[in-house]
Amino acid sequence: GAGVSQSPRYKVAKRGQDVALRCDPISGHVSLFWYQQALGQGPEFLTYFQNEAQLDKSGLPSDRFFAERPEGSVSTLKIQRTQQEDSAVYLCASSSQGSSPLHFGNGTRLTVT
């Protein structure tokens, strides 16, 4: 079956623009995660969904970051008024349950100019 799909693969935004990043998890996967990976670093946790419920958003860097998963499948990470420090790869991952092995998408590389 298909893996985790993320779109777009690349996004260039001017400082101050809003962006929306999409994640299609593996069908039937209950848990969905967003991670942020800066260049040369390991991924850092942003937020966690179990079905449509956002159970943890403690990793979101600021209130400019917002994530949703309204029907418990597709998720969108939205960043308002982008800043240069938001430039990173945003990775989505899903699993059948919270502690199961994670399946990652290829990420969206966001560049804010």
The region of 12-20, 34-42, 62-70, 78-86 touching another protein under the rule CB under 8 A is 34-42
Which residues 6+ apart lie within 8 Å of 15 measured at CB?
82, 83, 84, 112, 113
Residues in contact with another protein, total (CB under 8 A)?
27
C-alpha–C-alpha distance, residues 75 and 47, integer Å: 11
C-alpha–C-alpha distance, residues 83 and 97, integer Å: 33
Of 74 and 83, which CB lies nearer to another protein in the complex structure? Answer: 74
C-alpha–C-alpha distance, residues 23 and 6, integer Å: 5
Q: Is 18 in the site for another protein (CB under 8 A)?
A: no
Residues 61 to 90 in contact with another protein, rule: CB under 8 A: none
The residues that touch another protein, with contacts defined as CB under 8 A, are: 4, 6, 31, 33, 35, 40-45, 48, 56, 58-59, 91, 93, 98-99, 101-107, 109
